[in-house]
Amino acid sequence: MNQRVDIVEVGPRDGLQNDAAELSIAEKVEFIHRLDEAGVRRMEAGSFVSPRAVPKMADSAEVFRQINRGVSQSRIALALNEKGVRRAIDACADEINFVLVAGEGFGQRNQKMSPQETADMLAHCAPLAHDANIPLSATISVAFGDPYDGDVDVAVVANLAARAQRAGVAEVGLGDTIGVATPWQVRDVFERVRLEAPDVFLRAHFHDTRGAALANVYAAVEAGVNIIDASCGGIGGCPFAPAATGNVATEDVVFMLERAGFDTGIDLDKMIETAKWLETILGHKVSSSLARAGRFP
């Protein structure tokens, strides 16, 4: 098997935004460059959101200014609204990832918007990215469950994906923000989204809060998804989702996929090395299995 599965590294953004450690700009830049050396080609390097709401990302503009740029690398900036999109454009982001939300309760706390209002905001902001010739993707957060409202209607998720497609978004990610998805749900939701938004690439974003993230990655790949978000060391979480722990660990995903014969383009040894370096910078152990157990053979 030589099928390619691309990894979008989210450690420098989703990983760091909820960690207790206070990293300097220089440490964030070094983290990004270490990930580059491990073969990462697409990476969330920061976000342009309210510094009061997410203070760990307040220095994203300076991080974007200092990081190395390469023709084979895409530095992704996350945004929630017009101000964020304009700041991402000013920072010369290679790609903008816009956040939609599938749950009312989470949406009001995270963005102060309903699901449909986030789609309206995307439709309003998309021309800015298109005019700047910056690729635009979208992630639908809490696509598998809302921490405040419980189960999320798959019809809402599919409708948001369809609206993103109409706004000219090339790629839509489904986010299990609080780690409640099951492999069977993953299969069903991606199949429904594909029916409603057949012209976008699909991406999966799983948190390992309840230990099912790797199983959900498997289910997504089996459902035909070949773009997976992951975070070095398994760090991360959402400030607006109670008890939402880290993302699925990049090195764990790479190990599983490559043992099955998939190509990820990631140097597993260097990724494990980066996860161990990250422990020294953060001042605590990371959650990934490979950082603890090492690779095999």
- CB of 43 within 8 A of CB of 74? yes
Among the listed residues 47, 36, 48, the one whose alpha carbon sits nearest the alpha carbon of residue 9 = 36
How far is residue 166's CA from residue 88's CA, in Å, rounded to a whole number?
A: 22
Q: Are 49 and 56 spatial neighbours (Cβ–Cβ below 8 Å)?
A: no
Cβ atoms of residues 255 and 24 within 8 Å: no
Closest-CA residue to 275 (of 248, 245, 246, 250): 250
Spatial distance between the Cα atoms of 239 and 246, rounded to a whole number of angstroms: 11
Cβ count within 10 A of residue 123: 14
> Which of 263, 182, 180 is CA-nearest to residue 223?
182
* Greatest alpha-carbon span in the chain: 51
Q: Which residues pair with 227 in a beta bridge?
A: 6
Query: Which stretches does DSSP call E strand in 83-170?
Result: 95-101, 136-141
CA neighbours closer than 13 Å in the CB half-sphere of residue 191: 9
Active-site positions?
A: 238
Find out whether 148 and 109 touch, Cβ atoms under 8 Å: yes
200/226 Cα distance (integer angstroms): 12
CA 98, CA 54: separation in Å to the nearest integer?
A: 16
Q: How far apart are the first and last CA of the chain?
A: 19
